[in-house]
Amino acid sequence: MPEHLNQKLENIFKPYKTIVVAGGNWGDEGKGKIIDLVMEHYDLAVRYSGGANAGHTVKTPQGVKLVSHLIPCGLAQHKTCVMGRGEFFDARLFSEELAAAKQALGGGLPEIFIDHMSPLWTPWHSLLEGWLELSRGNTKVGTTGKGIGPLEGIYKLRVSPVAGHLLLEKEELVTVLKMLYGVMLPILEKVRGNIPAPESVAEELLSFLPQIGGRITDTSFVLHQALQNGKSLLFEGAQALGLDSHWGTYPFVSSGNSAAAGAAIGAGLPMQSFAATLMVVKTLPTRVGSGPFPSEMWEREEAMFFAKNHSELFGEGAGRAEFLSSMLKKINQKQATAPEMSQYFQVLGDERGATTGRGRSVGFTDIPWLQYACRINGPKWLALTRFDMLSGVKSIPVIVGYKYQGRLLQPGQLPPPWEMSKVETIKEDWPCWTEDISGVSEEKDLPQGAREFLSRLEKAVGVPILLVGTGPGREAAVVRGVA
């Protein structure tokens, strides 16, 4: 990021000793990149929810790519990393991630703390998840397969092993595991496959101890001390409001509290410790897995399989350029169907999941959803990612209202999740711009159409847009002049 923009960010964030960066859609908003930009101005990187289901891709200042699932992505900037109690812990995946990070960063790592009370993954969690998904039939959640639902559920049933149990003697760990095994066995016996015994689970988990042991602690105390010593903290949200287990589209959610408020419980700090929230939203939201998505352009399954069946159009695919130019022409001649628009934006944004490789279904910019997300998350600012995706599009429908049971809902109001498919979306056609804005990093260099789109959007949502993503690179972002 050019120095003068960095200075701008420094001035903006200086008054805020702590900041929560949380997703406002259904994940995959590009939080990694935004966190990376903001991280430079904070001392510690803290995760407060989710687990190995998350996938943030960032680059180190030396340009080395780092994919973080469990470890905060502040690792790339060599910040002290804290994995709070609200994050589910998977010892095996953590060890793999740590090894990859060591290689990417060339050895020396910053301090990484793991909370001693984080729910601990076992192979039984994944077996249970497989069975739960299977027994839901057509209403399966479409999880990432990292055992997240069982991790939260078993913890709430008060029979969960936790990360700190890895520090016990093996026999004591086996005793803890036997309790869970006893509770789960009647269900696990319904699942075909190998059900490992507590002794072998303990052995496997303990094999990771050398990488983990010295990092396990009461992380809320680490954070408390850091604040007392004048350090600044960035709380890295994982997933997003639409996937929060209380405020998302239950039951089609993940099982952590990915809302901004999840930071207080997940990190163990009092509410007054949180100075501001930056909510990251995608210009064109996306969703993977199942569940309500009012602004969706196409059928979920179709969109998910389109990416799988047309790999030649994605990434560096040979047919990509021709496909995009012919689709854009159709869109601008107003001849493209909604599925075709979805295909265009899926290919343009390479909308495929980092953790699962599934295609992501794309939606239109959705103001009522954003108003709801702002009502729950209370952001001071928005970061709008992938704004460059609208370059070259003459105009695009934007969802400006939800009608439910014949009435226009008020800003911030939603029907219950099981009724969301009955919402009628009110669309307006918003002009875009013809110029390519990829890589633009100054507000004055944005074409007028783009600037008008941003002002119109922030006015409608009611929260200023501070950062605008204009491409995948770290420098491809505009810092807007907002109060």
Applying CB under 6 A, the residues found at the interface with ligand IMP are 26-28, 53-55, 141-144, 146, 148-149, 239, 243, 254-255, 288-289
For residue 128, the tally of other CB atoms under 10 A from its CB is 21
Minimum CB distance to ligand IMP smaller for 268 or for 285: 285
Smallest separation (angstroms) from ligand IMP to the CB of 83: 16
The first and second tokens of residue 178, run together, are 């036997």
The nearer residue to ligand IMP, 28 or 388, going by C-beta atoms, is 28
CA 256 to chain centre: 12
Query: What angle, rounded to 10 degrees, do the helices at 198-206 and 170-188 form?
Result: 130
Least distance between ligand IMP and beta carbon 288 (Å)? 4
Residue 250 or 404: the one with the smaller Cβ distance to ligand IMP is 250
Provide the minimum distance between the beta carbon of 107 and ligand IMP in the complex, in angstroms, as a whole number.
29
Q: What's the DSSP call for residue 233? A: E
CA distance 71 to 138: 34
CA–CA separation, 244 and 250 (whole Å): 8
Residue nearest to ligand IMP (CB): 289
- Helix, strand or coil, per DSSP, at residue 50: coil
CB of 305 to ligand IMP, least distance (A): 15
Other CB atoms within 10 Å distance of the CB of residue 172:
12
CA 70 – CA 422 distance, rounded (Å): 36
What is the 3 state secondary structure string of 395-443? EEEEEEEEEECCEECCCCCCCCHHHHHHCEEEEEEEECECCCCCCCCCH
When the beta carbons of 196 and 291 are compared against ligand IMP, the nearer one is 291
Strand partners, 276: 19
Q: From the CB of 97, what's the least distance to ligand IMP, in Å?
A: 15
Q: Which of 252, 323 has the CB closer to ligand IMP?
A: 252
With H, G, I as helix, E, B as strand and everything else as coil, classify residue 21: strand
Are 431 and 347 in contact by the 8 Å Cβ rule? The answer is no
Residue 86's closest CA among 46, 36, 139?
46
Active site residues: 28, 56
The minimum distance between CB 357 and ligand IMP, in angstroms, equals 12
| Shorter beta-carbon distance to ligand IMP: residue 19 or 151 | 151
What is the residue whose two structure tokens read 């009435």? 407
